[in-house]
Amino acid sequence: MKFQTLIIGVVLIASSCTPPQFTQSNLQGGVDGGGGNTFIAQPVTSEEIESVIVSDAKVALSGFFIGNEKLLASTKPEYQKLYPKIFTLLDTVAIEIRSNQLCSDHEGNHKDGSIYAQSENAICISTYSMAGKLNQQNYEAETFGLIAHELSHLAGFNEVEAIQLQNDVVNTYAKESFKNKQEMLAKANKFLEQIISTMQFSIKDKTWDGYNAPNSFVNVIDDFRKKVKDSSNINFITSTENDLILVEYLRLYNLSEFVYASDTLLYSEGQRNYGKDCLEHTFQGRGSVTAYEAFKTPNTFNLHLDKEVLSNIVFLNPRNLDIAKSEMSVTSNFLSDLLVKFNERSSAQFVIIK
């Protein structure tokens, strides 16, 4: 039954030769603030705050800064100052955790967080002072916000800009527990792992039919892309990676047309001719085209990749099973590299100094 659904889905797609489209913070880095909450808040301990700094903060902030790179550039021009420096800062700046005292600014005033730490290349975060102001409902988002505030000073933000950013981070993560996002990321990683192993199994197979045909991967790849694009403000793949996934999606799409054109058991003569026509439409009799040529007319994908990048990616015309399989290996290798990066990104942690 599932098999039939997959085939029907792909036949529908193939009816056209063009593939389908697809609160204000309680914490202040500069000035100590008090949290005035009207609900009965459950307290949080400095150990719980420390735990979220250690295991979640770097992943959460990567997701925020990746997700906002394109969006904020147009709506909040000052944010452009952060890029690409913020990614280097995320990777190189350590967090000095004060679990029983406050941080201080350059004048010695007590703060929740500060760019002044005892260690080199570190920011100071006082889980001690944060625990007194935060609760179970807000401590994750507030912790991410305060770290973003301090890092942004290192990227050149003034106090007004840093507070604005801090509030944006807090509001972004206030809606749901970061634990849910971590689970979503783990699922996406597992999903990608499964796609790759099924593809590798398929490449070794003598024929391509049923589940082993590239048809079934076309939609799966796009599903994965949508899974990791969590929302407009949090994103765990970069826009370049997203576009490169679409490039591989088109490569697989060519392969599914090859299956239509050549599978005499599953498809009628009319369907086979249709597959041939679609391949002819893309390749125009040539043995290969660049991704730039393939996407150019018409560009339904709205890719942001440079012409130069697209011109360096080649699609081979899948004229036989060997060529088709070597094309699928290209996609499989691309996804394997992506999985490595993705695993690193979803388990990244700050260096902690205590």
Rounded Cα–Cα distance for residues 32 and 239 (Å):
37
CB of 143 to Zn ion, least distance (A): 15
Residue in 19, 27, 29, 49 binding Zn ion, rule: CB under 5 A = 29
Cα four-point dihedral sign 126, 130, 136, 142: negative
CB of 160 to Zn ion, least distance (A): 9
30 vs 67 by CB, closer to Zn ion: 30
Contact call for residue 113 and Zn ion (CB under 5 A): no
CB of 110 to Zn ion, least distance (A): 14
Paired tokens of 343: 């695993």
Angle at which helix 178-204 crosses helix 57-75, to 10 degrees, equals 90
**Is residue 125 helix, strand or coil?**
strand
Contact call for residue 30 and Zn ion (CB under 5 A): yes
Asked if residue 62 lies in contact with residue 184, where contact means CB atoms within 8 angstroms, the answer is no
Relative to beta strand 352-353, strand 94-98 is parallel
**x/- contact string, 292-331, with Zn ion (CB under 5 A)?**
----------------------------------------
33 vs 210 by CB, closer to Zn ion: 33
103 vs 141 by CB, closer to Zn ion: 103
Asked if residue 56 lies in contact with residue 182, where contact means CB atoms within 8 angstroms, the answer is yes
> Which range touches Zn ion (CB under 5 A), out of 21-29, 140-148, 220-228, 328-336?
21-29
Q: How many CB atoms lie within 10 A of CB 15?
A: 7
24 vs 207 by CB, closer to Zn ion: 24
Q: Nearest CA to 26 among 142, 140, 153?
A: 142
CB of 29 to Zn ion, least distance (A): 4
Q: Name residues contacting Zn ion, limited to 141-200 (CB under 5 A).
A: 159, 162
Residues in contact with Zn ion by the rule CB under 5 A:
29-30, 159, 162
